[in-house]
Amino acid sequence: MSTPWRSPAIALALLALPLWAQPSPRSRPPWVPGPPRPALRVDPHLTASPALQRCLDAAVARLGLAADAREGRFSVAMADLSADARHPAYAGVADTRMLYGASVPKIATLGAAFEWRRELRAGGLAPTEGAREFDAARADFSAGFREELRLMIFRSDNRAATSAAHRTGLPRIAAWLWDTGIYDPAAGGGVWLGRGFFHDPLWRAEPLRNLPHAATARALVTFYALLGQDRLVDAAASADIRALMGPSAFHNRLRRAVLERWPTARVYRKTGTWRQYRHDSALVERPGARYAVAALCGTWRCEAEVLAFGREADACAGAAR
């Protein structure tokens, strides 16, 4: 699907405008509803760590993935909350390179749904809004909606994910991604959910690369770092999201890499699988370390490569700044 702002004529016209009249790269397009909510953009204070960067660079090189990273087929990021959870040590390789997201962007529905719950509890929305999704007596999700969210994460159920996305509202999800900065065109994009997953028509493609689902490793790590800081929506939402993201029907890649060495670890995760793509993202809590990590892979060898990277990343946790 083409996008009108990519046409050469429009691009030249925009360049001819004075600087004050040109659209900001952070500007929300008119199809993202509501006014911007700058209060939702919470900074996880990711702090560049030379030591962690050296560790990740060496891991990617050791696995023979440096060329794939340069050419846009492999991307990783890590935030180590072990020493300072409020200012996590951060490193990444090709971490702002956006790839097709597969099922990983289902986390966008989760975040937007919990923000919706927070707004309803605060009384900021019409009392009739979300009548099917919320139990007013308990000021919480209805049993049916919560079960859809659970299945969407636990076994990546596409029917449940599509229903949950539409019940939350794709425009509401886009607004949450944009306002939080988990999608930010000025930072190369990020997580995007432009349609559901079960034979669902496209609502809006990601604006930069025209993808229906998208992710960058840095945006995913931002999501999990905020989750680990209890600042993803708020502390109550962060606890509930961790409860949903802990159990898993799958034992693969990053989760397997951690649990084979640390069987008592907690791994709050979301994976994505489609054709050659194998993506993993997680908040890991294990003895001696706590970290957020993401790996996006499109090399056709991804099952083995993401598993191997997960082992390397776990060994990097706790690296000195």
Do residues 193 and 165 make contact, with C-beta atoms less than 8 angstroms apart? Answer: yes
pLDDT grade, residue 127 (50/70/90)?
low
pLDDT grade, residue 160 (50/70/90)?
very high
pLDDT(184) > 70: yes
Q: Sign of torsion, CA 244 165 283 62?
A: positive
% pLDDT > 70, the chain:
91
CB within 8 A of 51, min separation 6: which ones? 89, 319, 320, 321
Global pTM? 0.91
CB within 8 A of 201, min separation 6: which ones? 195
Structure confidence at residue 307 (pLDDT): 98
- Average pLDDT in the chain: 91
Of 217, 198, 281, nearest to 245 by C-alpha is 281
pLDDT grade, residue 14 (50/70/90)?
very low
CB within 8 A of 9, min separation 6: which ones? none
Question: What would the pLDDT profile of 60-110 be if each residue is shown by its tens digit?
Answer: 999 999 999 999 999 999 999 999 999 999 999 999 999 999 999 999 999
Judge residue 274's burial from the number of C-beta atoms within 10 Å of its C-beta, 0-12 exposed, 13-18 middle, 19 or more buried: middle
Structure confidence at residue 321 (pLDDT): 53
Structure confidence at residue 274 (pLDDT): 96
Q: Which two tokens stand for residue 224?
A: 């999990």
Of 129, 219, 235, nearest to 176 by C-alpha is 219
pLDDT grade, residue 129 (50/70/90)?
confident
Bridge-based pairing of strands 140-141 and 134-135 is antiparallel
pLDDT grade, residue 17 (50/70/90)?
very low
H or E element in which residue 90 lies: strand 89-93
Question: What would the pLDDT profile of 227-285 be if each residue is shown by its tens digit?
Answer: 999 999 999 999 999 999 999 999 889 999 999 999 999 999 999 999 999 999 999 99
pLDDT(46) > 90: yes
pLDDT(116) > 50: yes
Structure confidence at residue 252 (pLDDT): 83
- Give the whole-angstrom CA distance, residue 283 versus residue 102: 19
Structure confidence at residue 296 (pLDDT): 98
Question: What would the pLDDT profile of 203-238 be if each residue is shown by its tens digit?
Answer: 999 999 999 999 999 999 999 999 999 999 999 999
Domain-by-domain residue ranges, the chain? Answer: 43-195+202-316
CATH class of 43-195+202-316: alpha beta
Structure confidence at residue 13 (pLDDT): 34
Structure confidence at residue 136 (pLDDT): 85
Report which DSSP code applies to 39.
G
- Give the whole-angstrom CA distance, residue 255 versus residue 251: 6
pLDDT(138) > 90: no
Structure confidence at residue 16 (pLDDT): 35
Per the model's pLDDT, the better-predicted residue between 130 and 269 turns out to be 269
